Chain A
């Protein structure tokens, strides 16, 4: 490598290393809004072959850690009403896997609500839930939230908000907020199930709002 080439390379490095501000380039200025943590989007593909196991079906799609990145991802993926039946979208904090066996989830549980809404209505509710979760407004006290899941099912689409613990007090506050986000009316029941009862087919909710 010649001296000129090295000098050119250094120049490029120094330019890219400088912080971009509105003063350096007013036209191309871009400010990104950081999120509290990194989030990962996961997708569960419906099984089309009996040989496919859960681990084959669940795959991370991408990660985002700014508001701008979130919108880019959201605009490029199919909306919930476009998904095939038995699909799941999961958005989980950092590297937490959307499985109750994961260490971060094992002592927690989930707020669950099944809704008959379809089409654009489900799209809107999913977006509201995502914004409330990544914007950290659904959990004002501390970060109890590990992630959120949308399950596309024939009998009714299911929303689930996964938490770190199963402590009643903080969860009740979160549940009340989640009800508002999902626009659940008085007669709708939001149920909390601890992951410890995930294997119990006839498990009863420990908190109902």
Chain B
């Protein structure tokens, strides 16, 4: 088996370029064409995805600012602070009430709608505490109250009850 070390092969390298049995010019032209196409595509990509056309990335800045309407706090003369929350529905109803008054509807009706709104707002949502769900304890405190045995059986009280007396009488 003929073997040649790297050094031996390097010594055999001719100084002049030798002819080959394939079309080297065509091969080089093909590679050059591919390079040009790649460069063109890269340029197009840069043009389309340059600094100014870049979409906003989500990890280079903080969270987007969302305008949250804070409830208004009104402090009266005595120093009591009260929240004044106005929901969109309330605002809308206010608008409709104005329209009603303009058409001559009753004032009582307005009062009713306002009071029902305040009731809706005051409704407290009760959620069971998750940590109690898997235990034997009832999840909701109200269940504890309902399950509680209010009237226990008192043997001494039963002995001296009126029912016995009535039976004796019979």
**Which residues from chain A sit less than 8 Å from chain B, CB to CB?**
33-36, 43, 45-46, 48, 61-62, 67-68, 70-73, 75-78, 82-85, 87, 128, 131-132, 134-137, 143, 181
Contact = CB atoms under 8 A, between A and B. Distances in A.
A115 to B, nearest CB: 18
B18 A45 contact: no
User: Which size bracket describes the interface of B in this complex?
Assistant: 20 to 34
A114 B57 CA distance: 31
A45 B4 CA distance: 31
B18 A75 contact: yes
Given A71-B12, A72-B19, A46 B38 contact: yes
Contacts of A33: 2, 4, 12
A144 to B, nearest CB: 13
15 contacts: A33-B12, A36-B2, A46-B38, A70-B9, A72-B20, A75-B14, A76-B17, A76-B24, A77-B27, A83-B31, A85-B38, A131-B6, A131-B10, A135-B3, A137-B4
Contact of A137 (B6, B28, B30): B6
Given A46-B34, A71-B12, A84-B35, A135 B22 contact: no
Nearest to A32: B12
Contacts of A77: 24, 27-28
